[in-house]
A and B are shown apart, each in its own frame.
Chain A
Amino acid sequence: MTPAPILEVSGVGKRFGGFVALESIDLIIARGERLGLIGPNGSGKSTLVNCLCGTLRNETGRILFDGHPLDGLIAHERTRLGLARSFQLPKPFHTLNLTDNIRVPLLYTVNARPGHRLSDEQVEARCRELLHEVGLGDKARRLPRDLTQVEMRKLELARAVATEPRLLFADEAMAGLSPSEIEEILAVLFRLNEQGITIVLIEHIMRAVMSFSTRLVVLVAGQKIADGAPQEVVRNPEVERAYLGE
């Protein structure tokens, strides 16, 4: 018997006025998987992530996270269940130093879970540890504005990981980075996956997606057109057409 999937999405649809952003998406994500989610601009990748994380409300369909229905739960409640995300454009808390940036999810998510309470010292230590893991250990007292683009992405990831998620959506964590910086972020993601976090990578950079993903899902114009092993999916004629045209 295969273990129950961590996320089961069935028939999720979302419109903005007359525009259909997502049309009845079905998706099953297995525990521990590294899923790549690709698609041209405006194909609905971020909308799907937003619906799954509770930032947007899907009009139709059902989402089961680890067996729990997510209907009606707002974003912070989903975060507390173990669903984390990083944002496409980094959204640091710009008046708080890096430690305090990490402290927010620790105090509001980890400590908000029943039977789980870190003392002040433990929170402090965990902040240091998380920043150290992404290589920002020596900037703990700095403000986000002192960071470079790649450091900002790392902070974004560290803040998502601080919620101790079981499923992490990394929304274009590498856009605009240099090849060596992409390697750095990939290394962080691989390490998190080894620690048991299921990761969904939403990305345009195919080299990164192909080296990271064990499975690839393609969205085009709000519809899922392919789902399978990465090498097969990229050879799929429909996917080629979507990316390269007729």
Chain B
Amino acid sequence: MRNGFFWIAAAVVGTAVLVLTRVFFTNEYFFFAAYVVLQYVVLSTAWNILGGYTGYTNFGTGAFFALGAYSSVVLHKMPTLLHGSFDLTIPQIPLPIMIVVGGIVSGTVGLGTGYLTLRLRGVFFAIATLALAIVVQTLIVNWDYVGGSRGIYIIRPALAPLGGGYIQYLYTLMMVLAVISVGIARTIERSRLGLGFAAIRDDELAAEAGGVPTLRLKLIATTLSGALMGMAGAPLPYYVTYLDPTSSFNLAYAVNSVAMPVIGGMTSWIGPVIGAILLGTIQQLATVTISSALNLLIVGLLLIGFVIIAPNGIVGLVQARRRARGARMQTQPQAARAA
């Protein structure tokens, strides 16, 4: 399928789901839950661009995500600050702009982190990203303007654009982000860039010997991955309305954004999408039916199960079955001839 066609198809599917859910679901809770699932589609797709395509495990999802959220907090308070200090009056900054700014902030941090840490490989890189999350969290905890450790209340605008309630608006924005990030992931996968990423994942020395500028490609991956995570985090203050470091840097974001691609399959764009929808939905169901504390346990058990039974995720299972069938088809005619 050609890229242009895929983008159109993704947009059509996204719009169709949006329209159908807006028509058929009147209960606000549905949109609360669906927002989280879509947010995980974005996060795990973003994670997979670095983790799945180039093979660098990032445990710092929480940092990029929260940076997006806190950049929105800063922008949210900007009009008040400007009015108080400089007597300047500007209107409230619209959320889509905040999303773009969140993406730029987290993308820049991604680029910087990449530059500092990409000489590290394997588990050392993973530890460095974990440290990044702690560094950023410490900064936020000590920054009083965005609420520090006690957190901050964000009051949603009274009117939501596009009709419906504010949560429907957030849900719509997240759907757009999900379509964009999946589109980007799939475009990369089929491009020269994706081939270079795969070469780096498989063998960095050999990639370099084949002419792949590994450092530059890895920086592209960290920047893009960070930016998408920041964009996913930008609407968070308006979703939760009370933002504090403990919840916004929650380990669950890091764990989920690793677990979802692993369970879905890391070599293809569809893997993180399947993983996010599956795990995200299970978690949402468990939260209402059993308890919210059970979420990470479910993730942990599924992760262990998949690493043992299907290390290449759901996509890997399907591919293996298809290959086995292909091999049978090839050998059968030969066997027939031999007989």
Measuring CB to CB, which residues of chain A are less than 8 angstroms from any residue of chain B? 53-55, 74-76, 79-80, 84-85, 87, 91-96, 100, 103-105, 107-109, 112, 159-160, 162-163
How many of chain B's residues touch chain A, expressed as a range?
20 to 34
How far is B203's CA from A104's CA once the two chains are assembled, in angstroms? 12
Whether B286 sits at the interface, judged by CB under 8 Å, is no
Q: Is the CB of B205 within 8 A of A87?
A: yes
Closest 7 pairs (CB-CB, A-B) = A109-B211, A91-B206, A93-B202, A108-B211, A105-B210, A75-B208, A79-B211
How far is B211's CA from A109's CA once the two chains are assembled, in angstroms? 5
Q: Is the CB of B210 within 8 A of A79?
A: yes
Measuring CB to CB, which residues of chain B are less than 8 angstroms from any residue of chain A? 192, 195-196, 198-199, 201-203, 205-215, 267
CB distance from A159 to the nearest CB of B (A): 6
Q: Report which of B202, B208, B212, B213 forms a contact with A96, defined as CB distance below 8 A.
A: B202
* 10 sample A-B contacts, Cβ–Cβ < 8 Å, listed by A number: A76-B211, A79-B211, A84-B209, A91-B203, A93-B203, A95-B202, A108-B199, A112-B211, A160-B209, A163-B211
CB distance from B95 to the nearest CB of A (A): 39
How far is B192's CA from A53's CA once the two chains are assembled, in angstroms? 24
Residue on B with the closest CB to A102?
B210
- Residues of B contacting A: mostly: helix
Given A79-B210, A95-B267, A109-B211, residue A104 in contact with residue B199 (CB < 8 A): yes
Q: Is the CB of A104 within 8 A of B210?
A: yes
CB distance from A112 to the nearest CB of B (A): 6
Q: Report which of A95, A104, A162 forms a contact with B207, defined as CB distance below 8 A.
A: A104
Residue on A with the closest CB to B323?
A143
How far is B213's CA from A109's CA once the two chains are assembled, in angstroms? 10
How far is B209's CA from A84's CA once the two chains are assembled, in angstroms? 7
Residues of B within 8 A of A84 (CB): 209
Q: Is the CB of A93 within 8 A of B213?
A: no
Q: Is the CB of B211 within 8 A of A53?
A: no
How far is B210's CA from A104's CA once the two chains are assembled, in angstroms? 7
Residue on B with the closest CB to A86?
B209
How far is B214's CA from A112's CA once the two chains are assembled, in angstroms? 14
CB distance from B271 to the nearest CB of A (A): 13
How far is B215's CA from A114's CA once the two chains are assembled, in angstroms? 21
Q: Report which of B202, B203, B212 forms a contact with A76, defined as CB distance below 8 A.
A: B212
